[in-house]
Structure 1
């Protein structure tokens, strides 16, 4: 017997009851009814700051029969954000203090009554609460400067909700999951644990169902079934320590369909349906083996994911919450972003430790589209308490989320935190008393490791990101010999893109470069008089100090200064794409030494200038089109010799299959697009999967036919196997783009249904198609030579041609 308490609640504002949908949040409720301005527009964030500086009450009235009032004895709330007292008819029945937990509180006899019952969630002022917690600490515990809520690290809330160097500070309050009033059953059917043993032609499964046991004496009369792939297996629950039960089923699946990451094979999925004690639990699982190769070698040690016995190069990006407003964190808003990752040939995303453990449906979507998930525990950049009360809260959070997600086939590893090891060197307090803070960190990290070891020993526990390995507290920002690396010198230190050539990480899990959003997105947050990257609206929507200036400095380094606002936006996205391209192609060209590149970041959670390649709402930046090329399954790329941009080595890499009889063709063009020379590299080679293969060196000065040409050249490289084209063509230049006097390419195009055919009279570098219509173009950032045409598809609304713009680099100045 249970009653769903989700739906319309009331929030009181200035004596007025305002409807608030739960699951949902108070900001969204007030915004939907025009009671607060859109916090995403202009500087309206400041106008709603008062909301995080007061208490709030959510309430609703539920009518119960006498039988219901007498029998109901438990209330469940999932992911309450964050500090809230649960009150029924004026009686406090529970206290929530962790946004990542599921709460179940007993409702004592006599609290409920026949007729109307008032349910309240009383939310604490988080600013005052964090300050109070800080005053209770035995020593100072530094918080990161990215957040606008001091001492937010002392509350188990979503870190980036308090602001980050790409996020607004709203600190929204509400409930993200289920709200249920029930009579506590004999047992609660909560979790499914899946263990797989793969052998030739079959997989042996051990499927364990578990949860809370409320009636130890009654469990013997409970029996159930588990159904998978047409097999119905009996379940007999038994009591275990800790007030829980466990029921185990075993089966063998012959000739199983395996789950593979995107690009490697089918995303085969199986439904597991459990029925027990009148309850049901359904999970979607995939059959696959997953390991991490950490073999030691002459450099250090590898870090390569191996799926179903096949090593992969992890291609992807970091994931942040889909929206700053929790009510908008929905499958409908999330699916297009994950599909865009797949369209760019990604096979992995990293759920970053300053966000949240995503809901079940998120991991189901990842399984459906073929994205592995590097899963951080939710600790990032701050330092944290290590007292018993805090760690017990953390352990309960981890126990629940690890068990909840253990059956998800996409979880690739459990990582202890984001950058917390490095944070020990960031703050004066920890630098002056390193031992104290290192011991505190060790207690926290061991808590995470213990939870993973107990609940999911099938996966690797990775202590931190970045990290050189277990028990290695080295500098993984600069040591590229082992483990995963975060490489931020190009952005934070404003170094040239060529600085990526300094490192050969075994796995780079963070690197990035910012760009401005497209004009269609700018319109959603800036009035037209603020269409200037130095305007107040743009400053408010740039959260990384000095970020806009750094972008403009980079544009001046590589391009001629933009002629107008839209050209500035275009060039910033081109620069971002080139930064990512330089890094990813170099590291892929060093495969298998390097086995993964996850750039920062895939998505935005509000309209902002950031490192994302997908804008808020899912619009593709030019850089995302470019990601589709630099992550392509077959890549031909160049490695320039130091200080000699005209001379470079050419390598080909294939992610998916072995290639035989590969040749590389070159075509050398003048800046006007005249073909100066063409030919084939002398070498024909086989390209084994994931082994970057050299095809020799190309020297522009040595190419026949170039004599007398002194205005610069660009070369196109294309790989072939016989007559079959392999992947996209790649281009190299003998100077920065700003050095070339490009002529007007006289771009022209025709539109037919959902496609655009583009032509040019002269060489057109970095062509971009853009429309205000929701959707995306299949290609962007490509070169177009005279006499050739390119057909680009648009996926989205059919009226895209009404606002279609086609530009190239020459149109920007």
Structure 2
């Protein structure tokens, strides 16, 4: 067999178009990162440097390299360049001859160059055209603007001219309410020169037609490129199984389809439900001359359904995996960096490790970022993290000219072929929030976009929207990933083509983005009453800790919430005011800047805990909760639970507890408490609830217990008590209710419930101590008096098994530190604080 030859093109240099000086480049990269590496610009994230770097996207750039071709390579019958990722408008020249005009960051471009190569040295030049200059004429030609709420054109020195909608590149590059505006250009994925002869496997896909525990029936679909007529044997092997079939090829592209049957297959399950078994299928073409071509694909066998059945409430909305309804627990994911070429494998590993540690089973790859690196999805496959995958459209209306639509169609084909073998991807979604924002069928609904247009223009914009999200993307998913569900927009009630389609409030059908807490200024308690069938977005902001802020704010004057630098790293205009307003409502007043940062994290954590428990209490009516958001793309005040440097905020610790497979949840009305037991899965449904009422000074006021039964996949009210019955006439401000749920004598969950808001609690002075144990990075935490939201603080990278927790007087809690690096043997130093230290 002649093996395929692949040469990765490297040793690049770059310059601003028209300049003489070439600088070294570190492809894959962006212009911004290469300028920074050459010392030509300051750190884009530092201070308010973002403002001074807006010129970069308004000029053209050139990247160039040389490579050598030998006779062995030229002897191959086919030679092509594969451009895996060009951002975004790129003219590519081979020895000064134009070979490609690229216009989509997300597409893969193949260019046949066999006839253009000879033995010796060659030059490859990539001319990256300014995305701003390229798209401004399109805006002028269109004759009207298109909505693009998060395009920060003012920061980009364009006034109200929003051009992000014309470029098929990451929308967040143009700014968002948690991220900066860096409109990048670059070679962001490798460029390869591939050569082969006779036959080549272009694509190999396992189409999972029917998957059960007893039998898996799949089609192995293989696309083979042949130089000439060929006949022989096709074989596929996986584990102990082997299939073969005689095939004939004709010159050009051949589509082979072989049906495979696996009895008693090992199924792929998400985290918390079973093993993540994957099969590697190896394909070979052979004849009397030997092995001619080969390919392989690794995937997990599983069935997935998006279940939308009519019921007494409306229509269900849940993911069914291998026939089992899955309550989805997770978060929205954005790119881990404004410059995605800076994201290392370790950063992906840490994010997925953190998701698993927090008992998540899904991440939503949100539509304003990028289709993630294949390694991200491999990790999700291995760890059982389901993926809700948006196509990259968000919070904007898009053009509908023929060229744009064809570009979208080809983008979808490329992306689906690249990603469809990942068993973790179980849901495809057309866009983020556009249906609800435009709300075509309901005049008073939406974000006010459509009111800017006359009726004919409205109809044209909506027609273009439907063409992309109801037809092109739906058809491409059906063609390339026929076993995965597609949903045109999130949130959405249903495709009814009338006013009942748009998600504007909690509904008995569809998914919901609930933002009345935060944007709508509703109290946290509103989470309890605004629940849909699937909560795909909701959130609350906090600040990162001081170590993270030190990375961009260096002067004493900068360490104030309203300083110029801090405001620059708060991209939501009302953010600081909203945090302060909610903090005044729920928490004691912080004594200084660092305390304010701490309080903001506790505030965020308490709010989202309220939401998650409300969603889980309402299962199976509600079958999913994805908060906004797990991560950051730069150091910033945001809705994240893990900051840019990987530091877990209080929210990530609260989420870990709230997402446990079995939890208690306490609901308070004016005069009574309801105790709910919530279980995803059960080995036994027999449990015991123990309820204790303590004074904050440590004395036990009351204790009661009850044997109970839990229900799988449901929330069960296991006890109801009048508050007076538990605490008598004692002050609510000085009491904590401690509820423990036990199964077979083992504590499964504990909830500390307070009868008043935290700011009303009579917090005693306490001394909290942290004592190292004999085991490395394992600590005992003890308090002399009741301590609220104990924060274990360390400079080391990693996370604790618990943090921001409460301690009763005399209680000892053992806490482990999990280092970010598995090879780290560093013994860490820990500082400890509680809320009492912050007021």
- TM-score tier by shorter-chain length is over 0.9
Q: Residue 27 of structure 1 aligns with which residue?
A: 32
User: In structure 1, what is the Cα distance between the partners aligned to 2:233 and 2:343?
Assistant: 37
Q: Residue 209 of structure 1 aligns with which residue?
A: 222
Task: Give the superposition deviation at 1:721.
Answer: 2.4
Q: 2:178·2:637 contact (CA, 8 Å) conserved in 1? A: yes
User: In structure 1, what is the Cα distance between the partners aligned to 2:250 and 2:474?
Assistant: 22
CA 1:490 to 1:237, structure 2 compared with 1: closer, same or farther past 3 Å?
farther
User: In structure 2, what is the Cα distance between the partners aligned to 1:240 and 1:435?
Assistant: 48
Query: Which one of 449, 453, 472 corresponds to residue 478 of structure 2?
Result: 453
Query: Which one of 410, 433, 443 corresponds to residue 424 of structure 2?
Result: 410
Where do 1:301-316 residues align within 5 Å? 301-316=315-330
Query: Which one of 258, 261, 275 corresponds to residue 270 of structure 2?
Result: 261
Where do 1:144-543 residues align within 5 Å? 144-148=149-153, 150-183=162-195, 186-210=199-223, 213=225, 215=227, 218=228, 220-221=230-231, 224-234=234-244, 244-275=253-284, 280-424=294-438, 425-426=446-447, 427-428=449-450, 432-433=454-455, 434-445=458-469, 446-471=471-496, 474-529=501-556, 530-543=558-571
Structure 1-normalised TM-score? 0.94
Q: Residue 61 of structure 1 aligns with which residue?
A: 66
User: In structure 2, what is the Cα distance between the partners aligned to 1:337 and 1:768?
Assistant: 21
Structure 2-normalised TM-score? 0.91
Q: Residues 680-728 of structure 1: CA distance to partner in whole angstroms, max 9, x if unpaired?
A: 24xx33212111100232322222x53354643221111122422123x
Where do 1:608-627 residues align within 5 Å? 608-627=636-655
CA 1:65 to 1:661, structure 2 compared with 1: closer, same or farther past 3 Å?
closer
Task: Give the superposition deviation at 1:146.
Answer: 4.0
Q: Residue 723 of structure 1 aligns with which residue?
A: 745
Q: Residues 450-508 of structure 1: CA distance to partner in whole angstroms, max 9, x if unpaired?
A: 11111122111111100112345633141321111100110112221011112121100
Query: Which one of 41, 50, 57 corresponds to residue 52 of structure 1?
Result: 57
Task: Give the superposition deviation at 1:430.
Answer: 5.8
Q: Find the residue that maps to 2:460 and give its secondary structure.
A: helix
CA 1:279 to 1:716, structure 2 compared with 1: closer, same or farther past 3 Å?
farther
User: In structure 2, what is the Cα distance between the partners aligned to 1:250 and 1:381?
Assistant: 42
CA 1:260 to 1:450, structure 2 compared with 1: closer, same or farther past 3 Å?
same
Find out whether 1:92 has 2:92 as its counterpart: no
User: In structure 2, what is the Cα distance between the partners aligned to 1:417 and 1:214?
Assistant: 38
Q: 2:268·2:277 contact (CA, 8 Å) conserved in 1? A: yes
Q: 1:303·1:483 contact (CA, 8 Å) conserved in 2? A: yes
Q: Residue 805 of structure 1 aligns with which residue?
A: 831
Q: Find the residue that maps to 1:34 and give its secondary structure.
A: coil
Q: 1:82·1:97 contact (CA, 8 Å) conserved in 2? A: yes
User: In structure 2, what is the Cα distance between the partners aligned to 1:590 and 1:366?
Assistant: 27
Find out whether 1:790 has 2:813 as its counterpart: yes
CA 1:351 to 1:710, structure 2 compared with 1: closer, same or farther past 3 Å?
closer
User: In structure 1, what is the Cα distance between the partners aligned to 2:472 and 2:422?
Assistant: 22
User: In structure 2, what is the Cα distance between the partners aligned to 1:343 and 1:123?
Assistant: 42
Task: Give the superposition deviation at 1:118.
Answer: 1.2
CA 1:345 to 1:37, structure 2 compared with 1: closer, same or farther past 3 Å?
same
CA 1:96 to 1:114, structure 2 compared with 1: closer, same or farther past 3 Å?
same
Where do 1:680-719 residues align within 5 Å? 680-681=705-706, 684-703=707-726, 706-709=728-731, 711-719=733-741
Where do 1:765-784 residues align within 5 Å? 765-784=788-807
User: In structure 2, what is the Cα distance between the partners aligned to 1:535 and 1:139?
Assistant: 38
Q: Residue 7 of structure 2 aligns with which residue?
A: 4
Q: 1:210·1:246 contact (CA, 8 Å) conserved in 2? A: yes
Q: Residues 165-198 of structure 1: CA distance to partner in whole angstroms, max 9, x if unpaired?
A: 1112112222233312234654452342331423
After alignment, is 433-442 or 687-696 more displaced?
433-442
User: In structure 1, what is the Cα distance between the partners aligned to 2:316 and 2:323?
Assistant: 16
User: In structure 2, what is the Cα distance between the partners aligned to 1:800 and 1:562?
Assistant: 31
CA 1:73 to 1:6, structure 2 compared with 1: closer, same or farther past 3 Å?
closer
CA 1:750 to 1:128, structure 2 compared with 1: closer, same or farther past 3 Å?
same
Q: Residue 557 of structure 1 aligns with which residue?
A: 585
User: In structure 2, what is the Cα distance between the partners aligned to 1:771 and 1:591?
Assistant: 38
Q: Residues 502-521 of structure 1: CA distance to partner in whole angstroms, max 9, x if unpaired?
A: 21211000001111011221
Q: Residue 656 of structure 1 aligns with which residue?
A: 681
Where do 1:569-580 residues align within 5 Å? 569-580=597-608
CA 1:649 to 1:461, structure 2 compared with 1: closer, same or farther past 3 Å?
same
CA-based RMSD of the aligned residues comes to 2.3
User: In structure 1, what is the Cα distance between the partners aligned to 2:730 and 2:646?
Assistant: 48
Q: 1:284·1:364 contact (CA, 8 Å) conserved in 2? A: no
CA 1:235 to 1:93, structure 2 compared with 1: closer, same or farther past 3 Å?
farther
After alignment, is 187-196 or 31-40 more displaced?
187-196
User: In structure 2, what is the Cα distance between the partners aligned to 1:136 and 1:223?
Assistant: 56
User: In structure 1, what is the Cα distance between the partners aligned to 2:559 and 2:778?
Assistant: 30
After alignment, is 58-67 or 572-581 more displaced?
58-67
Q: Residue 441 of structure 2 aligns with which residue?
A: none
User: In structure 1, what is the Cα distance between the partners aligned to 2:764 and 2:98?
Assistant: 74
CA 1:783 to 1:198, structure 2 compared with 1: closer, same or farther past 3 Å?
same
Q: 2:306·2:485 contact (CA, 8 Å) conserved in 1? A: yes
Q: 1:167·1:605 contact (CA, 8 Å) conserved in 2? A: yes
Give the gaps of 5 or more residues in structure 2: 157-161, 286-290, 439-445
User: In structure 1, what is the Cα distance between the partners aligned to 2:679 and 2:400?
Assistant: 47
User: In structure 2, what is the Cα distance between the partners aligned to 1:710 and 1:399?
Assistant: 60
Q: 1:463·1:469 contact (CA, 8 Å) conserved in 2? A: no
User: In structure 2, what is the Cα distance between the partners aligned to 1:560 and 1:322?
Assistant: 33
* Number of residue pairs aligned between Structure 1 and Structure 2: 800
Q: Residue 128 of structure 1 aligns with which residue?
A: 133
Q: 1:147·1:164 contact (CA, 8 Å) conserved in 2? A: yes
CA 1:709 to 1:513, structure 2 compared with 1: closer, same or farther past 3 Å?
closer
